[in-house]
Amino acid sequence: QIRLAESGGGLVQAGASLRLSCTADRNTFSTYTMGWFRQVPGRGREFVAHIGIPSSTPDYADSVNGRFTISRDNAKNTLYLQMNNLKPEDTATYYCAATMELVSRDVHAYIHWGQGTQVTVSS
C-alpha cells in the first residue's frame, strides 16, 4: 500500500496555469499506473488523465486534452498535472490515484487515493 498526498491547488483566474503534484511515500510508486480525477460537490469523480509505467502514452479526458499534461518522476515518487488555460469549469477537488491496471479511466479500478487538493478558477 502507498500513501498519496496532493499539493499545488489554489484560486486562479481563467486563463492561468497551475501545476499539481502528488507525492507517494513508497518507492513502489513506480509500479503503479497513476491517474488524476476531479470531483465537484454532488457529482461523482471524473477521470482527468492517467499515465502508465514506464511513462507510456498518457490518456486524457476530452475536456482537458490539449490543456493539461500529466507526467511522473519515478525517482522522486511524484506525479504531476500541469494545467494551462484554466477555465471556470475546471473548478473541482483534484485527486491523484494509483491502480495496478495497465490503463484505466474507471474510478473503481484505482485502489489508492490521496486526500485531494482544491482548484478554483474564477471567470
DSSP string, the chain: ---EEEE--EEEETT--EEEEEEESSGGGGGSEEEEEEE-TTS--EEEEEE-SSS---EE-TTTBTTEEEEEEGGGTEEEEEE-S--GGG-EEEEEEEESSSS---GGG--EE---EEEEEE-
List, for residues 2-43, the tens digit of each pLDDT value.
999 999 999 999 999 999 999 999 889 999 999 999 999 999
75 — pLDDT class (breaks 50, 70, 90) = very high
Residue 55 has pLDDT above 70, yes or no: no
Residue 34: its pLDDT value, please?
96
